[in-house]
Amino acid sequence: MGNFVLSSLIEHGHKMRRVAPPKGSVGLFCMAGGAGYELRVNEVYSWDGLRRGEEPFVLIQHTMAGEGMLDYEGTRHVLIPGDTMLLTFPHANRYWLERGRSWEYFWIILSGREALRLAGAILAAKGPVSRPVQPVVDRLAGACVMLLSGSVDLPGAVSAAAYQAIAALYDEAFGTAIEAADLPLPVLRAERFVADNLGRAIDVGMLARAAGLSRAHFVRLFTAAVGQPPSDYILDKRMERATRLLLATDAPIKEVARVSGFADANYFSKAFRRLQKRSPGAFRRTGRTGLLTTIDG
């Protein structure tokens, strides 16, 4: 289902839409103030979180392609495809596009005390950058499509779309907490290391060091806890990112391979064909025409 949601957003085209605050005596404590799907290419694009007015609000921004930068309380983050940025304002943050780069993303602005409360809880637990699973991305994209298309105009419907977006991130942050807690801490450290470094060369030895274990001990523990060897886990995560990028963006195959952590496009294409029984280009074409109904992951 996710590929159709993202395809709907892509087909809608690059656009921004502001939503006027509702009038009336009944308060709605989670509202959308606007939504957009944008592509920035080699231009001045920089936002300072302390210079966006005094009225508090929340921003959700999901990277589809390219690369953005975020400085959050002095810590720098590189935002790559699949990353979702969550920020509240006013706040000591800045996000921008580096010269010569491109950044494609969709965003939703929220307001209201419930939106701020939930965003604050997510930020306290997980920080400003996450890599949501595909169903969560679907919910975010779906809310953006509803707001951009104007299919939700009444205040209650706009509020429902806003809740859908922030609730999706809430589920991502807290919905799997019990399941994650069942995994040994060294395994959680290794999984986090993979998520944070998927776009670069990583190997089992690096995961073992991140977990704080010897390589042999780590491989035994990880395989028993996760159900597959760490090398297979890394490959699966790379393929998950690649399949999403193929369907959600128009990035060249070479770029998809690079940001998914494959050494080169030829190796990526061979590995992809071995697992999916078709080339990356054929997979993208089939998915875009609606014949591909499911994506693993």
- Domain ranges within the chain, ordered by starting residue: 2-178, 182-288
pLDDT digits (tens, 9 = 90+) for 251-265: 788 888 888 889 889
The enclosing H or E element of 86 equals strand 84-89
Closest by CA to 14, choosing from 87, 52, 64, is: 64
* 160: pLDDT strictly greater than 50: yes
User: Does 2-178 match 182-288 in CATH topology?
Assistant: no
Question: 3-class SS at 104?
Answer: strand
Q: How confident is the model at residue 292 (pLDDT cuts 50, 70, 90)?
A: very low
Q: Is the dihedral of CA 252, 256, 257, 258 positive or negative?
A: positive
Domain 2-178: which topology? Answer: Jelly Rolls (2.60.120)
The total number of residues shown for the chain amounts to 297
The vertex-290 CA angle with 287 and 296, nearest 5°, equals 50
Higher pLDDT, 260 or 86: 86
Give residue 164's pLDDT: 94
pTM for the predicted model, two decimal places: 0.61
- pLDDT, mean of residues 57-70: 95
Options 3.40.50.620, 1.10.10.60, 3.40.640.10, 1.20.210.10; CATH of 182-288: 1.10.10.60
